[in-house]
Chain A
Amino acid sequence: MTSPLEARSLSLVREGNTVLDDVSFTVAQGEIFALLGGNGAGKSSTLLTFLGFLEPSGGDILVNGTSVGSDVALARSAIAYLPEAAALYGHMTAYENLDYFLDLADKLASQAEIDAALERVALLVEARSRRLQSYSKGMRQKTAIALALLRETPILLLDEPTSGLDPIAIDEFHDLVKALAEGGQTILMVTHDVYGACQVADRVGLLRRGKLVGSFAAENNKRINTEAVHAAFAEREAV
């Protein structure tokens, strides 16, 4: 069976700098894969490559077994993407933002479905008809997450989804992601939260200066060993 997401010896050069170097991994259907790494390690770049926004300079990147380069539209239609900074329109309300972007995605969603999604991310009812320029960072993040949910795509690419969320919202978000994976959605998320990643992910990959330097999987239905990941993470300065 082909994996929904696969990086094959992926290399990437951005403005002359090697950002990714021979990175290979796959994410199976219904799996949650968390990509950890320091600032500038290449996490966000990896997601952008899956979306076809960046072209690999070596190797290949596949979505549902098809090379992204050969059919960008196909890849994008299978993926819901949560960007690093919740990029939505400040001059529009949450409802208007969702309505607009879902329309662009050719995705029909009823008012009830939209409210249900906003409920799942716990965005206050009274805030939903307010323009986003009056939102806090976390509220904006919640709206962006709701958009990714509403797309109902088989694959989710989430770039630091918990950034800006309060502790309770983070816990709720983790439950939400697990439920989505159980429903069959494939999730690749990028995060700085080692503890959270180990709690929610089936597998954790450690990216350091463009190289995948470690991979940790949950064994025997147990959580990933947070201490081991932490230790591996801490090694970075030793190079």
Chain B
Amino acid sequence: MADHTPHEASTGPDGEPLVVETDEDRRRVERRSGQTLPAVCFATSVVAALALAVVYAEGGQNQAEGVLLAVALGGIGVGLVVWAKRFMPEGPDTEPRGRIGSTAEDRAAFVADLETGAHTFGRRHLLTKMLVGAVAALGVAALFPIRSLGPRPGRGLKSTPYRDGVRLVTEDGDPVRPDDPGVGGVITAFPEGHVGDETAQTLLIRLEPGQLEPEPGREDWTVDGVVAYSKVCTHAGCPVGLYQEQRGELLCPCHQSTFDVLHGATPVFGPATRPLPQLPLGTDADGNLIATGDFSGPVGPGFWDINT
């Protein structure tokens, strides 16, 4: 800043002065007192940076690193702002805005050139059309590689690995027996060989005898009071994990959709519109729970052709 020489009145493109430096501005630039604060700021910054190096070398400590870095940066920040406020020309300065649109002649000449060229293109109707067609075809061709990103959306949305006779297993892969869920208890189960499968996650809930009012046609879908529903919320796919035993309701933690377990898991509150699909249960020769078919409908959130 010692190099500063008073700015000669500079001029804009139209010749009017851009910068008028006032006596006050000159006084600020030449001022002698008041340097202490910015100097202390910069010094603090240096100290903090050195301390940061020490902390890092000693094994690092995240809070200390954050604070020291903040002090090192903040010292420079405060120093600069104070410096500017105390020792730099303050304005207000003014500059002409100038015009944004071009002059009428420039604009006319530009438009004329543009139109001449467009006319040259336009004279060859056939070629123009062929060119447009070729570029369009190329655009369509460019879409094909995108298709490689993923498979055709398939049956995965509408079916799960459950088939007649598939055993249900826990998250650890153990078979489930009908008395495994205690009364009021819930177990998360999967089809054997598909533990962790997102679409096939199943809730097994034991109800008191006679509590469940089965949907028509599903009278024999339970085993010893154990009923199985898809765990994937029909709203937006979160796992419906909170079972409120007294009310016989399943609550989805994401947007609080609530499903009535006693009445086919129909939604009773929240944004969900479709019931949780039910899984028909049976037992195999060893008395383990098996599915006797796939879920009663597509699991999880809805989509365009869910009903086809």
Q: Do chains A and B stick together as partners?
A: no
Q: Which residues of B does A touch, CB under 8 Å? A: none
Q: Which residues of A does B touch, CB under 8 Å? A: none
